[in-house]
């Protein structure tokens, strides 16, 4: 019987996450892939966007004015889908080779700011590099990113609204 080190076990765990079938957009390993390679929340956002775009094109083709709410809903959904895809790209990078102590420090800082509004881990990259091996750092980052991913999913529409408002404000300031 072959015994694995804890480092090997951590590496195998992260590798098993990478090998799972994951959503094409959010890349969340815990969600079941539903249709068209997407998990249910991503698929539903895509379907809502299609419906909103169809309504927009129908209104345009009939020569009617487009209500602000319809255009705004489509913009918010576009922004939410973009946010989802960007988070998926970051999660892929974390799982593929995210074993830098500095990356782990940044993730821990984000988590501590989110939970207790304080940066508890600033300047700890060196200690994290000494104490944790590459497999352990990768494993810990995968766990942290699971938390970040769930949090992002819960607040995706709110962040999309904020992003749209920021873009609108910056375009108004640029026009001045």
- Tens-binned pLDDT, residue by residue, of the chain (176 aa): 566 788 888 778 777 777 788 899 988 888 889 889 999 999 999 999 999 999 999 999 999 888 999 899 999 999 999 999 998 888 888 777 767 899 889 889 988 988 888 999 999 999 999 998 888 888 888 888 888 888 888 888 888 888 888 888 888 776 66
Residue 77 resides in a domain = yes
Residue 37 resides in a domain = yes
Domain count across the chain: 1
Q: In the structure encoding, which two tokens stand for residue 17, read together?
A: 């996450």
Residue 8 resides in a domain = no
Which of 5, 13, 4 is CA-nearest to residue 138? 13
**Cα separation values, 161 from 70, 73, 75, 78, 146, Å:** 14, 10, 9, 11, 23
Residue 32 resides in a domain = yes
Residue 123 resides in a domain = yes
Q: In the structure encoding, which two tokens stand for residue 27, read together?
A: 């890349």
Residue 9 resides in a domain = no
Q: Looking at residue 98, what is its pLDDT?
A: 61
Q: In the structure encoding, which two tokens stand for residue 76, read together?
A: 């918010």
Q: In the structure encoding, which two tokens stand for residue 102, read together?
A: 């500095």
Model's pTM, two decimal places?
0.75
What is d(CA 137, CA 143) in angstroms, rounded to the nearest whole number? 10
Residue 122 resides in a domain = yes
Residue 66 resides in a domain = yes
Instruction: Print the domain residue range for 154.
Output: 18-171
């Amino acid at each position: 019987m072959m015994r694995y080190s804890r480092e090997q076990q951590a590496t195998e765990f992260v590798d098993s996450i990478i090998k799972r079938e994951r959503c094409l957009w959010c890349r969340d390993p815990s969600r079941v892939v539903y249709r068209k390679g997407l998990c249910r929340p991503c698929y539903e956002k895509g379907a809502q966007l299609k419906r909103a775009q169809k309504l927009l094109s129908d209104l345009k083709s009939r020569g009617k004015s487009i209500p602000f709410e319809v255009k705004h809903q489509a913009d918010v959904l576009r922004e939410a889908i973009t946010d989802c895809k960007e988070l998926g790209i970051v999660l892929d990078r974390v799982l593929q080779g995210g074993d830098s102590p500095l990356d782990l420090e940044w993730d821990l800082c984000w988590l501590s700011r989110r939970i207790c509004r304080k940066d508890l881990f600033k300047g700890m990259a060196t200690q994290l590099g000494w104490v944790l091996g590459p497999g352990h750092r990768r494993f810990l980052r995968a766990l942290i990113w699971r938390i970040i991913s769930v949090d992002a999913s819960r607040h995706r529409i709110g962040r999309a609204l904020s992003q749209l408002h920021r873009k609108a404000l910056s375009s108004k300031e640029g026009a001045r």
